[in-house]
Amino acid sequence: MSAAPLILLAAGGTGGHLFPAEALGVVLMARGMRVRLVTDSRAMKYSGLFSSEMIDVVPSETVRGRSPWSLARTGLLLGAGTLVALNLMRKLRPAAVVGFGGYPTLPPLLAARAVGIATVIHDANAVMGRANRLLSRHVSAIATSLPGVLDRDPALASKTTTTGTPMRPAILAAAAVPYASPDPAGSLRLLVVGGSQGARVMADIVPGAIEQLDPALWSRLRLVQQVREEDMARVRAVYDRLGIDAELAPFFSDLPARLAASHLVISRSGAGTVAELGAIGRPSILVPLPGALDQDQFANAGVLMQAGGALRIAQPDFTIERLAAEISALAAEPARLIAMAAAARTVGRLDAAERLADLVAKVARI
């Protein structure tokens, strides 16, 4: 009896790349396939679907600077990683390799192409990432989370399928929780997050904005905020002084459930966050990460904003006064929050993992 087909999932070692890979892996395994994760050393700290026996670490590096020495170092590490990945491909002989973005996907995808293995890349952003752009002309198929990402390039558009962003089971469970309209006299549940590493701007702005709210709102607030360890003391001091019911932590392992329980979310607008807000259907105030070459977070936030599910505030405009005004206005209009929640849900694709699995099976001829 022949072994089940093996699919290698290649992802950079951050949640934004790993979580969609995990979601696809769950579906592929349910369909009787085997999966392994090819990644960099950062992924070893993430728990979930992939046990240590299912992970292959390949040397890699992200482009961090434009100096000749920095570029040479990056090139050498990527070259070394490609040699390791070539040996891995010859050893494992997967039916296909699926990349989820980030420079750690370059070695396994290039190695797979070199030995004639089917390849797929998935891009979750409204603007395709640099690593995926480098790979896009060489892979068998491209999957995007959002429509229209490659419409201006007919050669790439012809092999592109819009699948959405694969969602982990925890997100799918959270998506089943209906949005609970805040009672004007009851609690207002506010969730503040800043991405996988936190965001200092949230510690700088949110406590001051809360202090500027009408004191009548302070007793209603149920605040959950991601705060980096170095900012914890100063943020907690403000909330303690105001008597705010606040839960603060550097990381929340149960973030999907906390998203589902929220009336309003204040967040960065990474691709994963935007996809999860759409899948679960929660109103948000989004502050794109500034300074990115591709302005991908600005574009991601624009998708929810155009649908009516979010407010997008560029970081220079994200002031204490502006945020206080937006929170006050939304707290006074529960019907507006309900409408934003419904609008956000129109962006979500709960069947994205199944759709991507269909594409992988087609490309791999399984």
Question: Does a structural domain hold residue 1?
Answer: no
pLDDT higher than 80, residue 69: no
pLDDT higher than 60, residue 158: yes
pLDDT higher than 80, residue 15: no
Question: Does a structural domain hold residue 149?
Answer: yes
For residues 357 and 250, membership in a common domain is answered with: no
Number of domains making up the chain: 2
> How large is the average pLDDT for residues 129-153?
93
For residues 297 and 324, membership in a common domain is answered with: yes
For residues 91 and 143, membership in a common domain is answered with: yes
For residues 33 and 60, membership in a common domain is answered with: yes
Assign residue 79 the CATH number of its domain: 3.40.50.2000
What is the extent of the structural domain holding 19?
Answer: 6-167+350-364
For residues 297 and 159, membership in a common domain is answered with: no
Per-residue pLDDT tens over the stretch 332-351? 999 999 999 999 999 999 99
Question: Does a structural domain hold residue 203?
Answer: yes
Per-residue pLDDT tens over the stretch 162-196? 999 999 999 999 999 999 989 988 999 999 998 76
Per-residue pLDDT tens over the stretch 269-288? 999 999 999 999 999 999 99
For residues 321 and 191, membership in a common domain is answered with: yes
Contacts 24+ apart (CB under 8 A), 208-214: 208/238, 208/320, 208/324, 209/320, 209/321, 209/323, 209/324, 209/327, 210/238, 210/239, 210/242, 210/244, 210/324, 210/327, 211/238, 211/242, 212/320, 212/321, 212/324, 213/324, 213/327, 213/328, 214/328
For residues 144 and 115, membership in a common domain is answered with: yes
